[in-house]
Amino acid sequence: MAPRSRRRRHRKPPSSVAPIIMTPTTIVTPMPLTPSKPGPSIDTLGFFSLDDNVPGLSQLILQKLNMKSYEEYKLVVDGGTPVSGFGFRCPQEMFQRMEDTFRFCAHCRVLPSGLSDSKVLRHCKRCRNVYYCGPECQRSDWPAHRRVCQELRLVAVDRLMEWLLVTGDFVLPSGPWPWPPEAVQDWDSWFSMKGLHLDATLDAVLVSHAVTTLWASVGRPRPDPDVLQGSLKRLLTDVLSRPLTLGLGLRALEIDVRRIGGSTVHVVGASHVETFLTRPGDYDELGHMFPGHLGLRVVMVGVDVANGFSQSTSTSPLEPGTIQLSAHRGLYHDFWEEQVETGQTDHPDLVAAFHPGFHSSPDLMEAWLPTLLLLRDYKIPTLITVYSHQELVSSLQILVELDTHITAYGANPFMSLKPEQVYSNPNKQPVYCSAYYIMFLGSSCQLDNSQLEEKVDGGI
């Protein structure tokens, strides 16, 4: 943590920029990215950290995906290279190669290249997800694996069904909410509201040619319809978790989305997770959460923003009911000085960071510190999400040390319901995207360290 004397100071906030009137559909602005000074990439750090648990795993992944370097891999996740350009001869080869990237012994961590001629990696027959080099390793690992086997079975199905999002064969259903927005407080009420119409939509996907082709190509039995429908629902919550979590923040922080000029949300630390494959319509549910809103502009800012999004500095008005998505590649405090302070883009009503990870790495903390201080000093309503209770505790402690005024934190009612497997440590408890949230506004935190620890330990 940087000492207080070295923290970056910011000028007084500029006067508000001219209001924007925002076309009742979501718009993704297709203009070239203008990169700012790059910072530490959480994508890069995450990829090479795979080797910490399984030496050589990063190279195995590149080899199986027909890539010569990480830079080539990064071009794909950034949207710069189409998936069709990998050189796979058929879907069967593609799915086999993708599955091969998970082939290492979960107990002794040996890769296929390290096996003797008499050994072969075989997956657990229950979850079809975790691999072992022999019965001895599987027996030794069972006490750890039994705790996560059922969840990893869901992961294995979701990993394949997710391909339907890549190809566009699973389009998220959306439409005006028939219920009052205040009646939709979590996924249970959201699914109840969607009711039979959603079930019919998912059933139509399951009988489609795309799903038949998918399961004919993966080399394993097709699961029962209820299993596949459950997977589609989890995938749906994974995509919609982000816009609905933004809505949660707008609600909780009482931001007026019906004021003239509309409202602006900045998503900071955005990466390919928030931007790769994001389509017009993915954020429509955010608009349905606030019927009658006068425009919502969502700007993704981060060093790992995917191609296809753009730096959009236009302040031209949009019609009420519009949600506009755009992006800027770079660090947020640089974006603030270059775009916000100069009036080229709007001052945010809310800033959100999905899984910033500043608790996990000194490099990431150093990169995030100017942004966190900026948000604190300018008293910008801020929402942060994390994967787990442990990350929640660590992140809260850092924010307390920075004297932020924490206004709320807890379990996110719109967290993703799709379990995420830890790639290089498959028997670690799966996590869920945006499982917890933290909101803060300005400085002078009302909880000291001892009060915070007591409150967190007491439960959310």
pLDDT digits (tens, 9 = 90+) for 163-199: 999 889 999 888 899 999 999 999 999 999 999 899 9
d(CA 378, CA 376): 6
The most confident of the ranges 41-50, 77-86, 94-103 is 94-103
Q: What is the band of 309 on the pLDDT scale with cuts at 50, 70, 90?
A: low
* Strand, coil or helix: 355: coil
**Which of 122, 146, 170 is a domain's end point?**
146
Per-residue pLDDT at 303: 86
d(CA 398, CA 373): 12
Query: Would you say residue 328 lies in a domain?
Result: yes
Identify whether the C-beta of residue 24 lies closer than 8 Å to the C-beta of residue 319.
yes
Residues 258 and 393 in one domain: yes
> What's the chain's average pLDDT?
83
Query: Would you say residue 156 lies in a domain?
Result: no
Per-residue pLDDT at 27: 41
Q: Does 331 score more than 60 pLDDT?
A: yes
Compute how many other C-beta atoms are within 10 angstroms of the C-beta atom of residue 128. Answer: 17
> pLDDT for 246-300, tens place per residue?
999 999 999 999 888 789 999 999 987 888 778 778 899 999 999 999 999 999 9
Query: Would you say residue 12 lies in a domain?
Result: no
The model's pTM is 0.83
Q: Does 450 score more than 60 pLDDT?
A: no
Q: Which domain holds residue 362?
A: 161-448
Query: Would you say residue 304 lies in a domain?
Result: yes
- Burial letters 438-460, b for 16+ CB under 10 A, else e: bbbbbeebebeeeebeeebeeee
How many domains would you assign to the chain? 2
d(CA 447, CA 460): 15
Residues 106 and 176 in one domain: no
Both tokens of 397, joined, read 């402690």
Residues 223 and 300 in one domain: yes
**Which of 146, 171, 205 is a domain's end point?**
146
Per-residue pLDDT at 18: 28
Query: Would you say residue 458 lies in a domain?
Result: no
Residues 125 and 171 in one domain: no
Which of 144-148, 201-205, 211-215, 276-280 shows the lowest mean pLDDT across its residues? 276-280
Per-residue pLDDT at 11: 39
Query: Would you say residue 1 lies in a domain?
Result: no
**In the 8-state DSSP scheme, what is residue 11?**
P
